[in-house]
Structure 1
Amino acid sequence: MSAIISAGLLIVTAGPLLAAEPHRLVLQISDDDPVKMHAVLDVAANVSRHYTGQGEEVDIVVVAFNGGLDMLLADRSPVKERLTGFAKSMPNVSFIACGNTLETLARKEGASPPLLPGVTVVETGVATMMDLAEKHWTIVRP
């Protein structure tokens, strides 16, 4: 405990004042559905604008696996143009591709499909989401 005396007032605090932690959001996309892909991007944009508009930090990660991986593939993403805009206007939003899903596609198609620039690959998308949840990230599936 510490005490501060200011202008004749005694203020007692339980410990040092800490800077607020950033808000942390994981958005899941696992369906090959352009409507759901747009919904994920809408949620990311809305949450980003909400917190940055309040002067608060927010980190947002979109994790794509199963059919949702198409969202991050350079040769077939139905939201490719929007993703390019995100990279420029919302640097607090990042995109993760599931390595297991990529390997499955590579076996099926005979070659690994190209990812959009800036996409990070992890071994297992769901395990990454679990790890983030254990670190107090909020998981939402729009």
Structure 2
Amino acid sequence: MRKLFAMIFTALALTTAAAHAAEPHRLAIHVDENDPKVMNMALNNVKNVAAYYKEKGEEVIIEVVAYGPGLNMFVADKSPVKDRISSMSLELDNVSFSACGNTHEAMKKAAGGDVPLISEAKLVPSGVVRLMELQEEGYSYVRP
């Protein structure tokens, strides 16, 4: 009987390990500063994490979320990293960029008109809420 339980336990452990190995890693990167060094560090994190898991043959999904002053990372005529984001988007299909809708609305109001974002950024209702949702979905969280 003990052998049967040991065999069942071993089979369950192997099945669980295989299921976890097949799941992609998930990373949320938070940018809330209008600082090119912070923005570039966030993009360095994206590049390094993507390369690490690619080399291991494992999948990773990365989402960069910007709000507050950090939203300037995605503002078309202000972003100091827009060219880098553009090339990363072409190279990495596992990376997305989320722009806080609350911050965007405040920027438009202050500017008295539209504030165009780079095409790679998708608007989400709230950057903070998006980060919460990602963490609730099992994403690891990094703030450079």
TM superposition score normalised by structure 2: 0.87
Q: Hey, what does 1:24 align to over in structure 2?
A: 26
| Corresponding residue for residue 14 of structure 1 | 12
- Secondary structure in structure 1 of the residue aligned to 2:22: coil
1:56 aligns with 2:54: no
Distance between the aligned counterparts of 1:60 and 1:72, measured in 2? 16
Alignment of 1:97-112 (within 5 A): 97-112=99-114
For residues 11-69 of structure 1, the C-alpha deviation after alignment (integer angstroms, 9 at most, x for no partner) is: 85128553611000000000000000000000000000000111000000000000000
Residue 121 of structure 2 corresponds to 119
- TM-score, with length taken from structure 1: 0.88
Identity among equivalent positions (%) equals 41
The one-letter code of the counterpart of 2:77 is: D
SS of the counterpart of 1:129?
A: helix
**Counterpart in the other structure of 2:97:** 95
Q: In the alignment, is the contact (CA less than 8 A) between 1:69 and 1:98 conserved in 2?
A: yes
Where 1:59 maps in the other structure, the secondary structure is: strand
Q: What secondary structure sits across from 1:91 in the alignment?
A: coil
Distance of 2:89 and 2:113 partners within structure 1: 26
Per the alignment, residue 4 of structure 1 pairs with: none
CA distance in 1: counterparts of 2:114 and 2:29, whole angstroms: 24
Partner of 1:47: 49
CA distance in 1, matches of 2:61, 2:41: 18
- Count of residue pairs the alignment pairs up: 133
State the 1:111 CA deviation.
1.3
Residues 81-139 of structure 1: CA deviation (Å, up to 9, x unaligned):
10111111111111000000000001000112111112111101001100111111011
Instruction: Say if 2:85 and 2:120, in contact at 8 Å, map to a contact too.
Output: no
Specify which structure has the higher proportion of helix.
2
Please show how residues 59-78 of structure 1 align to structure 2 within 5 Å: 59-78=61-80
Structure 2: tracts of 5 or more residues without a match: 1-6
